[in-house]
Copies of this chain bind each other. A is one copy, B any other.
Amino acid sequence: MRITIRDVSEAAGVSFKTVSRVLNKERHVRPATRERVEAAMKALNFRPSYAARALAGARSFQIALIYDNPSPYYVHTIQMGVRARCLKDRIRMIVQPCDLTSPALAAEIGGLIDETHVDGVILAPPLGDIAAVTDELDRRGVAYVRIAPGDPTAAEERVTMDDAAAAALMMRHLIGFGHVRIGFINGPLDHVSAQRRLEGYRSALAEAAIAVDDALVVAGGFDFETGEAAAGALLDGATPPTAIFAGNDDMAAGALAAAHARGIAVPDALSIAGFDDIDLARAVWPPLTTIRQPIHALAYAAADLLLDTDEGDAAGAVPDYELVVRGSTGVCRMG
């Protein structure tokens, strides 16, 4: 049957409480005793029951990663980032995709907390901006960290980057090549990051004294299909853009497909730029110029913020975004 701390305590010749102490790295255990217990644990191949620890104690050694995001690359990167940090403390990560449009969303997340006893929650975009969700978490007093939320309040419990500035950076890059009619494929507006990126788009145009043409701003859903459709709408319009800036790389890839389908040469007749620098940006042709978002680092930092007891300033370690020029805009000639 299962090996318990009682088995370990017998093997080590101590009380089972001492084993518990060693397990929890508590102070006040003589080094020799500790070593004996650890040796016994190894010899018996002892593994503590997370269920029992959660039930008896105040912690469950589990955290939940919750998201509703249409980009597999993004989700995967977030998972890897959180996982990397969890591994350090032997914390289990409960991956929980959810449905943003469900009216029961907050209740479901609340239920998850109760059922699993998780010690904390990481909210991947755009969940950090859903008030119903954060309210539910606040009500329960569960610790949580939001990745890249748009809401400026509660600055201490989030890791973030400046989406507006990043988008403006890309826009200046495009404008620098002489583009005036630049289409923008925006993400869904319930992602606050999408709103911020749109702000950056607008401010950079204003900065260059280029009038904003609302017909050039179209909505997408952060995935390939909607990007393709949105780009199609732009390209089939009365006065199509000479460049398209997509709100993320999945949509940029869709835009490429739309251009190709219409026989529009990229980058000679049309520049396309993305945002995220997931692997997709390298997989498509021509290689996309994108804003590299430190997704993995953001996720790692979020987990760090949640797990760190000694208040290390994890957020400070998050690298900034950067513009990655890969030639699709760099060799652009005006259409």
Q: Which residues of chain B come closer than 8 Å to A114, judged between CB atoms? A: 2-3, 47, 49
Asked whether, in the complex, the Cβ of B47 is within 8 Å of the Cβ of A111, the reply is yes
Residues from chain B with a CB closer than 8 A to the CB of A238 are none
User: Interface with B: A87-95, A176-184, A191-199, which one?
Assistant: A87-95
Residue of B nearest to A250 (CB): B283
For residue A54, CB closer than 8 A to chain B, the reply is yes
Shortest Cβ gap from A158 to chain B (Å)? 24
- Taking a contact as CB atoms closer than 8 A, the residue among B51, B280, B285, B287 that contacts A51 in the complex is B51
Is A73's CB within 8 Å of the partner chain B?
yes
CB proximity to B under 8 Å, residues A53-79: 54-55, 60, 72-73, 75-77, 79
For residue A83, CB closer than 8 A to chain B, the reply is: yes
Complex contact A117–B51 (CB within 8 A): yes
Interface pair A260/B279, CB less than 8 Å apart: no
User: Are B260 and A283 touching (Cβ within 8 A)?
Assistant: no
Per-residue 0/1 for A248-261: is the Cβ within 8 Å of any B Cβ (1 yes, 0 no)? 00100110110010
A15 part of interface (Cβ distance < 8 Å): no
Are A284 and B285 within 8 A (Cβ)? yes
The one of B92, B97, B224 that contacts A80, using a Cβ cutoff of 8 Å:
B97
This chain: copies in complex: 2
Decide: B97 and A83 in contact? CB cutoff 8 A. Answer: yes
Whether A310 is near chain B, meaning CB under 8 Å from some CB there, is no
Chain B residue at minimal CB-CB distance from A52 = B55
A287 to B114, CA, bound (A): 46
Smallest distance from the beta carbon of A80 to chain B beta carbons, Å? Answer: 7
Can you name the residue of chain B whose Cβ is closest to the Cβ of A50?
B115
B115 lies within 8 A of A47 (CB): yes
Q: Chain B residues with Cβ under 8 A from A237's Cβ?
A: none
Q: Are B284 and A284 in contact (CB under 8 A)?
A: yes
The yes or no answer to A48 lying at the interface (CB within 8 A) is yes
What are the residues of chain B within 8 A of A94 when measuring CB–CB? 92, 94
A213 to chain B, nearest CB (A): 28
Q: How far does the Cβ of A262 sit from chain B's closest Cβ, in whole Å? A: 12
A49 to chain B: which residues have CB within 8 Å? 54-55, 114-115, 117
A94 CB to nearest chain B CB (Å): 7
Please, what's the 1-or-0 string for A274-297, where 1 marks a CB less than 8 Å from any CB in chain B? Answer: 000001101111110000000000
Starting from the known contacts A72-B72, A92-B115, 18 additional A-B residue pairs (CB-CB under 8 Å) come to A2-B114, A45-B110, A47-B114, A51-B54, A51-B116, A51-B117, A72-B73, A72-B77, A79-B95, A95-B95, A224-B283, A250-B279, A253-B284, A254-B283, A257-B282, A257-B285, A280-B283, A283-B283
CB pairs A–B below 8 angstroms (12 shown): A50-B51, A50-B117, A51-B52, A72-B77, A83-B97, A93-B95, A224-B279, A224-B283, A256-B285, A260-B286, A280-B283, A285-B285
